[in-house]
Copies of this chain bind each other. A is one copy, B any other.
Amino acid sequence: MDRKYRVGILGATGTVGQRFIQLLENHPQFELTALAASDRSQGKAYQEACAWRLPGEVPESVRSLPVEPPAPPLDCEIVFSSLPGEIARETEESFARAGYAVISNSSALRMDEDVPLLIPEVNHEHLALLDSQKSARGFGRGVVVTNPNCSTIMLALALAPLHARFQVEAVVATTLQALSGAGYPGVASLDITDNVLPFIGGEEEKIESETLKILGRFDGGRVEPAPFKVSAQCHRVAVSDGHMAAVRVKLAREAGPEEVREAFASFTSLPQELKLHTAPARPVVVRDERDRPQPRLDRDAGGGMSVTVGRIRRDSVLDYRFVALSHNTVRGAAGAAILNAELLAATGRI
């Protein structure tokens, strides 16, 4: 942690971009020096360009930073990207080619074979893909690392301890997702008042595919997807922040409820060992009250970086069921990307 990295944000005015700015304020390693966005805000100072929607004020240090176009060069070494899908692939690749470390929250490159889809506690060994990425893409000093979709992070992080100990054989996940996951303006208020929406575009497909890549095995050259099936049904509910999932799992090895609980509660990994700044002490928090987790009460656990798990019970169709919850724009987006960057820095990858 000796040196400081200069970092920029692509998509700085959006919901996730604002969360990046909030989380990077006073970060010990990363200094925010560049902001970019693809919208009409270019050229203005951030304070004017952005309709800040988080409680509190825009941090002093970024108010007068200009909003630039999302193209190299930017005055930084690392770019955090939360660009919309359509332009993400091309933009992110152009930054990597220009030598930047691209830490992406966008979906464009996630499933590319040579791109790590990283949750530091779950599959840090996938970072070895960067060796083939470098040679295949001719990025030079540049790299691209992605974090999963917001719901997938929650699910994969909750499954990781179970998969490690008991081997997961099937997963049935039903989500109740927060409004901030749709960005801004996102969901119209008329659509969600006194209502639930049983559809989120592309979400079920992302959960069903990304989870298997994350929990897949790096065999020295590539990642072998995990050999089980995931079923996802996704719903939007009237909650500002905090995605929830009702999860059933089938396990290969017999496990008692106490063992399952213990697997969750005792789980820690490399980020905790390395004491990365954004890593929560407990990646998975277990709550034993019968009515937890709840979005409003548990989304900020571990500074928004812990997944909270509760209602662990034997299931009558699969083996176990539980409810998981995490903060979708912290652990599920901006915080995930920052933790990824911290891991890259700590392991000498940038």
Contact = CB atoms under 8 A, between A and B. Distances in A.
| Most chain B CB atoms below 10 A, which of A174, A185, A186, A239 | A174
A231 B195 contact: no
A66 to B, nearest CB: 21
A244 B198 contact: yes
A169 to B, nearest CB: 10
A318 interface: yes
Contacts of A171: 317
B231 A198 contact: no
Given A185-B190, A188-B188, A198 B56 contact: no
B291 A208 contact: no
Interface string A115-132: 000000000000000000
Interface string A192-217: 11111111000000001000000000
A187 interface: yes
A195 B300 CA distance: 13
A300 B56 CA distance: 8
Given A188-B187, A237-B176, A198 B311 contact: yes
B189 A248 contact: no
Nearest to A194: B194
Nearest to A237: B237
A197 B291 contact: yes
A345 interface: no
Given A198-B323, A233-B321, A294-B197, A185 B188 contact: yes
A319 to B, nearest CB: 10
Contact of A318 (B231, B235, B296, B311): B231
A-B interface, 4 closest residue pairs, ranked by CB to CB distance from nearest: A185-B188, A174-B174, A199-B291, A231-B317
Given A176-B176, A193-B240, 10 more contacts: A55-B299, A184-B188, A185-B190, A186-B189, A189-B191, A194-B295, A196-B244, A197-B291, A198-B310, A233-B323
Interface of A: 15, 53-56, 170-172, 174, 176, 179-180, 184-199, 208, 229-231, 233, 235, 237-240, 244, 246, 248, 290-300, 310-311, 315-318, 321, 323
23 contacts: A15-B190, A53-B190, A55-B296, A55-B299, A171-B317, A172-B317, A174-B246, A187-B190, A188-B189, A189-B189, A189-B193, A193-B239, A195-B295, A196-B237, A196-B244, A198-B294, A199-B311, A231-B248, A231-B318, A231-B321, A235-B244, A238-B238, A240-B296
